[in-house]
Amino acid sequence: MSRNQKIKFYSMFVVLALSLWLLYPSFKYFSMSDDALDALRHDNPKKFNSLLDKSLSLGLDLQGGTYLVLDVDLEGVPDDKHADTVNQAIKVIRNRVDQFGVSEPSITKEGDSRIVVQLPGLPDVERATRLINTTALLEMKLVAQQGELFSTLQKIDQVIQVQASMPGAMGDEKSAGDTAAADSSAAAGDSTIDFLAGGANGAEESPGEEPSGLLSLMRGYQGGGIFIYKDDMQRVKDYLAEPAVQAAIPQGYEFLWGAKDVTDASGRKARLLYYLSSKVELDGKRLTGATPEPDNDRPGFYRVAFTLDRAGANEFARVTERNVGRQLATILDSQVFLAPEIESRIGAGSGVITGRFSAEDATDNAILLRAGALPATMHIEEERSVGPSLGHDSITQGFRAGIIGFLAVILFMVLYYRGSGLIATAALLLNLFIMMAAMAYLHATLTLPGIAGIILTIGMAVDANVLIYERIREELRAGGREGKVRRAIQAGYDRAFSTIFDANLTTLITAVVLYIFGTGPIKGFAVTLSLGIIASMYTALVVSRAIFDAIIMRRHIETLSI
């Protein structure tokens, strides 16, 4: 056996060993029970993530997950910025998904404004929607002074009372207490100021002194926010949405709701309503990091710790230095999470966002902050969840189809080409090992169309062997001596090479085009087809030839079983 033949012969053992080594994590991962995987994830997260990272990735249709179609709202965006806005939205979504740890997500643009998101292994549609469709706009604004708040509330209540006294106005469907005469508004405002200043359980007022309109729904003032019982929230929102009320709010100020429910002394749930300056003192563009951590002040809950870059830290220091004694609200997507009082200048360039978060919520919020805010609002056009059981059925059916097809091919090759058919079978098995190992190494995703690509590749690999064997048969028709067998094998491979190479090259070009321009399932098909073509050319032209050469060199054969 020549040096070149030895290299080819031993290379197939090296390739086989490497393929088995790359596939071992996948075999170990998929052979473990769900309970064993959960235990490993809990006890040794680092080892679990390493095993998952090295294992073969399954697509949405095989392991279950979430499928979303989003439409980017481009209203108000200049025409020449439409494409940039959608592309930026895709980038932000990809950053969020990558940090969340979803294996092999698919995020693609469809049309001018649609984005298709596939998240394998995440069947929780609600969590996926929150992770992807949350704007994640972080802002810090100053809470208005009490005097400014009470003055604005009196103006609003006067407007409401005037509107309520008009036939067909917004007060017609409110309670009788909301339709008090306008000339009593000042006294009502004074009594409410006293009431709000008393806290969430402020002093009881007599019926005659009880405030009216919007003020009648406010149950106390605490930490910069006004208590609004959950039952009254919608009425307050309706009041604040009225154009006349909006006009009564001074320019440069706004009302925002707190993010979490609070309770009064009686245990009744409420939500805080904040009156803030509209000026953004600091935003999330200066964030350099955000991590979830246990909230030491609230055992059992988590918070999000964030850090700012140098420019953000300097601005944070200036804001806190200028506003000692004021309250600075931390706002995420127009909801106030906390509004602590500034006690002194803060120059550390870091802070925390609290809100009685669960570990999951804190993790998601940290991911949203790190990934940045979406450039535009997005609307969900379609959402669906693929359950793990459906994915398991797909795997079972696909595996069954592959096994049946593979066995049928082997049976045909052995019956028609006899001993040489066994060589083709060995090459075919190595072809499968190489293909699956390459997918595991490249972190490619195996999907149902991908399984179809594998089955198609099996047929193409057999086709290459058929071409070679038919050429060898033609060369053997003149005789069967040893020298003739060797020359027949060499001539058969040489004559079949150009046909096999041209056919596989054109198919490979098609697969590459499908991968570049295709989406989702088409990409999965293109990946397995491309890897299968490369593997089949190696096994058909190199591996099977090396086996033939080894047999001829070790045994003096005069005939070939083909």
pLDDT for position 557:
65
pLDDT for position 169:
53
pLDDT for position 181:
37
User: φ and ψ at 557, to 5 degrees?
Assistant: -100, 145
pLDDT for position 517:
83
pLDDT for position 267:
83
The average pLDDT across 419-441 equals 90
The candidate with the shortest Cα–Cα distance to 217, out of 235, 238, 199, is 235
Give the DSSP H or E segment for 454: helix 448-476
pLDDT at 134 over 60: yes
pLDDT for position 556:
67
pLDDT, tens digit, 9 for 90 and up, residues 297-340: 888 899 999 899 999 999 999 999 999 999 999 998 889 988 88
**Is the Cα torsion angle 142, 148, 150, 155 positive or negative in sign?**
negative
The candidate with the shortest Cα–Cα distance to 54, out of 443, 537, 495, 327, is 443
Least confident of 5-9, 76-80, 211-215: 211-215
pLDDT, tens digit, 9 for 90 and up, residues 266-288: 888 999 999 999 999 998 888 88
Which CB contacts under 8 angstroms, 24+ apart, belong to 546-552?
546/5, 546/8, 546/9, 546/11, 546/12, 547/9, 547/423, 547/426, 547/427, 548/423, 548/489, 549/1, 549/5, 549/8, 549/9, 549/489, 550/1, 550/5, 550/9, 552/482, 552/485, 552/486, 552/489
The average pLDDT across 343-347 equals 86
Q: At what angle do helices 419-441 and 521-538 cross, to 10 degrees?
A: 130
pLDDT, tens digit, 9 for 90 and up, residues 103-124: 667 888 888 899 989 888 776 7
Angstrom CA distances, 451 to 394, 400, 401, 537, stand at 10, 11, 9, 19
Contact 192, 218 (CB under 8 A): yes
CA distance 213 to 285: 40
| Amino acid in position 388 | P
Q: At what angle do helices 419-441 and 3-31 cross, to 10 degrees?
A: 60
CA distance 409 to 420: 13
Least confident of 231-240, 393-402, 447-456, 492-501: 393-402
From the centroid of its chain, how far is CA 133?
10
Percent of all residues in the chain with a pLDDT value above 90, rounded to a whole number = 24
pLDDT, tens digit, 9 for 90 and up, residues 470-517: 988 888 876 645 457 888 888 889 888 999 999 999 999 999 998 888
pLDDT for position 213:
66
175: confidence class by pLDDT, cuts 50, 70, 90: very low
Least confident of 149-158, 177-186, 385-394: 177-186
Mean pLDDT, the chain, whole residue set: 82
The stretches of 181-256 forming alpha helices (DSSP H) are 185-197, 233-241, 243-248
What domains can be seen in the chain, in order of their start residue? 3-33+388-554 (1.20.1640.10), 282-358 (3.30.1360.200)
* Better-scored residue on pLDDT, 534 or 182: 534
538: confidence class by pLDDT, cuts 50, 70, 90: very high
By DSSP bridging, strand 445-446 and strand 57-58 are parallel
pLDDT for position 533:
93
pLDDT at 193 over 60: no
The average pLDDT across 78-101 equals 86
Angstrom CA distances, 294 to 155, 300, 363, 504, 532, stand at 43, 7, 11, 57, 49
pLDDT for position 182:
39
CA distance 404 to 490: 33
pLDDT for position 389:
62
Give the DSSP H or E segment for 65: strand 65-72
Least confident of 55-59, 67-71, 247-251: 55-59
pLDDT at 70 over 90: yes
Give the tokens for residue 64.
């279950």
pLDDT at 33 over 70: yes
pLDDT for position 170:
54
pLDDT for position 520:
66
The average pLDDT across 200-220 equals 57
Contact 226, 220 (CB under 8 A): yes
pLDDT at 218 over 70: yes
pLDDT at 31 over 70: yes
DSSP letter assigned to residue 144: P
